């Protein structure tokens, strides 16, 4: 016998969920204006100190709709290896010479990556990740 997943909200939480549905129905977003309106609803919910289960459920669903619309209409390309390396260097306030010396990477390799002439190799990726204390996955978007 297959079990059926059920969820039920208590009456007060169901009321808050339905009030939100009445004020701003959950549906696929069709325009940037619709996106802006949805974001205002999300912002107003996030401004509350605590949400009940109904508000949480509504916020999750609306956030999923916003993410879906943004993924389709406002996709953000991954940062280049040069941009990622420059950001990490700026954040740690190190220059090319320091990075080269401390991470054991040839200065010419650092320069070529920053100039966009050379991508991270797996070996360099590991050295950069270890040096800056970040997970390799942060840097491997372009591999």
Total of domains in the chain = 2
pLDDT of residue 4: 45
Q: Do 48 and 97 reside in the same domain of the chain?
A: no
- Residue 1 covered by a domain: no
pLDDT of residue 11: 80
Q: What percent of the chain has pLDDT over 70?
A: 93
CATH of the domain at 126: 1.10.260.40
pLDDT for the residue 110: 96
Is-contact 129 139, C-beta < 8 A? Answer: yes
How many angstroms separate the Cα of 138 from the Cα of each of 37, 88, 111, 128, 131? 32, 11, 20, 11, 13
Same domain? 61 vs 95: no
In a domain, 3, yes or no: no
Domain that holds residue 138: 81-142
Helix (H/G/I), strand (E/B), else coil: 47: coil
- Whether residues 57 and 94 fall in one domain: no
The pLDDT tens digits of the residues spanning 86-124 come to 999 999 999 999 999 999 999 999 999 999 999 999 999
Residue 2, domain member (yes or no) = no
Q: What percent of the chain has pLDDT over 90?
A: 80
Mean pLDDT of the region 64-69: 96
């Amino acid at each position: 016998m297959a079990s059926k997943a059920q969820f039920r909200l208590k009456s007060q939480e169901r009321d808050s969920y339905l009030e939100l549905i009445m004020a701003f129905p959950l549906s696929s977003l069709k325009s940037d204006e619709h996106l802006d309106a949805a974001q205002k609803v999300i912002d107003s919910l996030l401004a509350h100190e605590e949400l009940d289960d109904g508000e949480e459920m509504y916020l999750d669903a609306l956030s999923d709709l916003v993410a879906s619309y943004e993924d389709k209409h406002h996709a953000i390309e991954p940062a280049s290896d040069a941009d990622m390396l420059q950001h990490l260097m700026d954040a740690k306030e190190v220059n090319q010479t320091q990075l080269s010396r401390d991470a054991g990477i040839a200065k010419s390799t650092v320069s070529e990556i920053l100039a966009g002439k050379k991508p991270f190799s797996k070996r360099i990726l590991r050295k950069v990740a270890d040096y800056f204390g970040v997970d390799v996955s942060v840097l491997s978007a372009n591999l």
